[in-house]
Amino acid sequence: MSAIQSTAGVAVLFSPEERALTLREEVRLGLTSTPKELPPKWFYDARGSELFDAITRLPEYYLTRAERSILERRVDEIAELTEARTLIELGSGTSDKTRLLLDALAPRLFVPVDVSETTLQESAGRLARDYPALDVEAVVGDFERHLPLLPADEPSLLAFLGSTIGNLPPTQRTLFLNDVAASLGDGDFFLLGADLVKSPTRLVAAYDDAAGVTREFNLNVLRVLNGELGGDFDVTAFEHVARWNAEAEWMEMFLRSARRQTVRLEALELEVEFDAGELMRTEISAKFHPRRLAAELEAVGLAVERRWTDDAGDFAVLLARPTSHSHVEGWLPEAERARQRR
């Protein structure tokens, strides 16, 4: 993390070059695997972020409203318990729900972390305008690799909302939570929003809405690959599929090839064959049981102090703090070094 370039309050940990390299590596790996798979982080170019914003307003997509209702009721308690002077938000997107936290905490510093520099520039600009006393230091980063350095001198709240944690398969989720635990010091807190297991009918509806916005969002990853990797995906030759995986307890989105076809990606010098009906997974969205999720946090050394759900029991918000730093030293060198610098 030595090469932090700082421009207008945006620190770039994930430089355009590094981002392009990661995109190429991940897409090559995913498209040459059997079955084919693409990581969900590449949905979010400007159009993808707008489409996701539209998803959060869909009648079927209860997640955002449920989480908001919990936060509305609990932000004062969160402020009182944490006394946080710094708010760090991972995958903050448009920083909409963030305002609830900012209003209640009135922190000195806000650090939004997101892979999309344009989204960050816009939301950081708006927040700086609306909260003149607030210092906004945005970080372009990948939350799986760039857990930020927390300021040592004041209590911080690290927020990871919206059930984005559900995008991580179990092993990566454990690694990530370990990294979170290692990056928090005494007096810091972790605020986690997670969607809960519920009726498959409602879950499928939330990921296959009647207006077709999620379909457009899913297909957008092909447009991103066309634009950034010189791909020639025919977006009309793929269908949106959303399924509940009962064993794994996660929603999965796929793109299904409507016919046998060959796709070329210029930047990868790669040709990929799709069979008629072939499924390519583009996202998992794990759904949780509040107690089991709390146990996962406890297992990495995060003591769950509060566990809230909305009235319908659809969504959970957990507030945790590090118990000790008794986890295996050197387990995650980057996070460990960050902690020791504090």
Nearer to ligand AVJ, 207 or 288 (CB): 207
> How many of the other CB atoms lie within 10 Å of CB of 254?
22
Nearer to ligand AVJ, 74 or 287 (CB): 287
Which amino acid, residue 311?
D
Nearer to ligand AVJ, 14 or 207 (CB): 207
The counts of H helices and E strands in the chain are 10, 15
- C-alpha angle 211-117-93 in degrees, rounded to nearest 5: 45
Query: What is the number of alpha carbons within 13 Å of residue 42 lying toward its C-beta?
Result: 25
Work out how close the CB of 6 gets to ligand AVJ at its nearest, in angstroms, rounded to a whole number: 28
Token pair listed for 216: 């457009």
Nearer to ligand AVJ, 90 or 265 (CB): 90
Q: Which of 243, 169, 250, 229 shows the shortest CA–CA distance to 26?
A: 229
Nearer to ligand AVJ, 137 or 208 (CB): 208
Work out how close the CB of 145 gets to ligand AVJ at its nearest, in angstroms, rounded to a whole number: 17
Burial class (CB in 10 A: 0-12, 13-18, 19+), 256: middle
Q: Rounded to whole angstroms, how far apart are CA atoms 51 and 326? A: 42
Specify whether the CB–CB gap between 157 and 191 falls below 8 A.
Answer: yes
> How many of the other CB atoms lie within 10 Å of CB of 111?
26
Work out how close the CB of 205 gets to ligand AVJ at its nearest, in angstroms, rounded to a whole number: 11
Nearer to ligand AVJ, 66 or 320 (CB): 66
Work out how close the CB of 56 gets to ligand AVJ at its nearest, in angstroms, rounded to a whole number: 8
> How many of the other CB atoms lie within 10 Å of CB of 179?
22
Angle between helices 213-229 and 16-31 (to 10 degrees): 110
Work out how close the CB of 282 gets to ligand AVJ at its nearest, in angstroms, rounded to a whole number: 9
**What is the end-to-end Cα distance of the chain in Å, rounded?**
15
Which parts of this chain interact with ligand AVJ (CB under 6 A)?
55, 63, 162-164, 166-167, 207, 214, 217, 283, 285
Work out how close the CB of 283 gets to ligand AVJ at its nearest, in angstroms, rounded to a whole number: 6
Which amino acid, residue 113?
V
Work out how close the CB of 269 gets to ligand AVJ at its nearest, in angstroms, rounded to a whole number: 30
Specify whether the CB–CB gap between 138 and 115 falls below 8 A.
Answer: no
Which amino acid, residue 106?
A
Q: What is the DSSP letter of 174?
A: H
Nearer to ligand AVJ, 123 or 285 (CB): 285
Work out how close the CB of 212 gets to ligand AVJ at its nearest, in angstroms, rounded to a whole number: 12
Work out how close the CB of 93 gets to ligand AVJ at its nearest, in angstroms, rounded to a whole number: 8
Nearer to ligand AVJ, 286 or 335 (CB): 286
Rg (CA), the chain: 20
Nearer to ligand AVJ, 92 or 164 (CB): 164
Closest residue to ligand AVJ, judged by C-beta, is 285
Q: Rounded to whole angstroms, how far apart are CA atoms 232 and 242? A: 24
